[in-house]
Amino acid sequence: MESESTKKLQSLIDSNYKIEKIFPPIFGSDAEVNIVTVTLVSSDGKKENIRAYREESHFLREYIRKNKLFHQ
Protein backbone atom coordinates (compact mmCIF):
# COMPACT_ATOMS: atom_id res chain seq x y z
CA MET A 1 0.00 0.00 0.00
CA GLU A 2 1.25 3.46 -0.85
CA SER A 3 0.24 6.27 1.48
CA GLU A 4 0.37 10.03 1.00
CA SER A 5 3.44 10.24 3.23
CA THR A 6 5.32 7.60 1.21
CA LYS A 7 4.41 9.39 -2.03
CA LYS A 8 5.69 12.69 -0.62
CA LEU A 9 8.85 11.01 0.67
CA GLN A 10 9.62 9.41 -2.70
CA SER A 11 8.95 12.71 -4.47
CA LEU A 12 11.46 14.50 -2.24
CA ILE A 13 14.02 11.68 -2.63
CA ASP A 14 13.59 11.95 -6.41
CA SER A 15 14.29 15.70 -6.04
CA ASN A 16 17.68 14.89 -4.45
CA TYR A 17 16.64 15.32 -0.82
CA LYS A 18 18.31 13.08 1.75
CA ILE A 19 16.78 11.85 4.99
CA GLU A 20 18.47 13.70 7.82
CA LYS A 21 16.51 12.42 10.82
CA ILE A 22 13.64 10.12 11.72
CA PHE A 23 11.85 10.40 15.04
CA PRO A 24 11.37 8.05 16.71
CA PRO A 25 14.39 6.19 15.35
CA ILE A 26 13.58 3.87 12.46
CA PHE A 27 15.21 0.80 13.95
CA GLY A 28 13.30 1.02 17.23
CA SER A 29 10.21 -0.96 18.06
CA ASP A 30 6.94 -0.18 16.28
CA ALA A 31 4.92 -1.25 19.33
CA GLU A 32 4.02 2.26 20.54
CA VAL A 33 4.70 4.34 17.42
CA ASN A 34 1.66 6.39 16.45
CA ILE A 35 3.45 9.42 15.02
CA VAL A 36 6.57 9.49 12.87
CA THR A 37 8.40 12.62 11.76
CA VAL A 38 10.92 12.44 8.91
CA THR A 39 13.20 15.43 8.27
CA LEU A 40 14.79 15.69 4.84
CA VAL A 41 17.40 18.16 3.61
CA SER A 42 18.34 19.23 0.09
CA SER A 43 21.86 19.88 -1.13
CA ASP A 44 21.30 23.63 -0.70
CA GLY A 45 20.17 23.21 2.92
CA LYS A 46 16.40 23.49 2.48
CA LYS A 47 14.52 21.28 4.96
CA GLU A 48 11.21 19.49 4.57
CA ASN A 49 9.28 17.50 7.18
CA ILE A 50 6.86 14.66 6.71
CA ARG A 51 4.63 13.65 9.61
CA ALA A 52 2.61 10.44 9.53
CA TYR A 53 0.03 9.24 12.04
CA ARG A 54 -1.29 5.84 13.16
CA GLU A 55 -1.34 3.21 10.37
CA GLU A 56 0.34 5.59 7.95
CA SER A 57 3.31 5.92 10.33
CA HIS A 58 3.77 2.15 10.17
CA PHE A 59 3.64 2.17 6.34
CA LEU A 60 6.15 5.04 6.18
CA ARG A 61 8.63 3.30 8.48
CA GLU A 62 8.31 0.04 6.52
CA TYR A 63 8.76 1.89 3.22
CA ILE A 64 11.98 3.46 4.49
CA ARG A 65 13.27 0.12 5.78
CA LYS A 66 12.39 -1.88 2.66
CA ASN A 67 13.91 0.69 0.31
CA LYS A 68 16.96 1.27 2.54
CA LEU A 69 16.50 5.03 2.34
CA PHE A 70 18.13 5.86 5.67
CA HIS A 71 21.43 4.70 7.11
CA GLN A 72 22.41 5.56 10.65
Rounded-to-integer distance, Cα 30 and Cα 26, Å: 9
- Kindly report whether the peptide bond that precedes residue 25 is cis, defined as omega within 30 degrees of 0: no
The average pLDDT across 18-34 equals 79
The average pLDDT across 52-58 equals 91
Rounded-to-integer distance, Cα 32 and Cα 28, Å: 10
Comparing 28-37, 53-62, 63-72, the range with the smallest average pLDDT is: 28-37
Which tens digit of pLDDT belongs to each residue from 37-54? Answer: 999 999 999 999 999 998
Average pLDDT, the chain: 88
Bigger pLDDT: 15 or 33?
Answer: 15
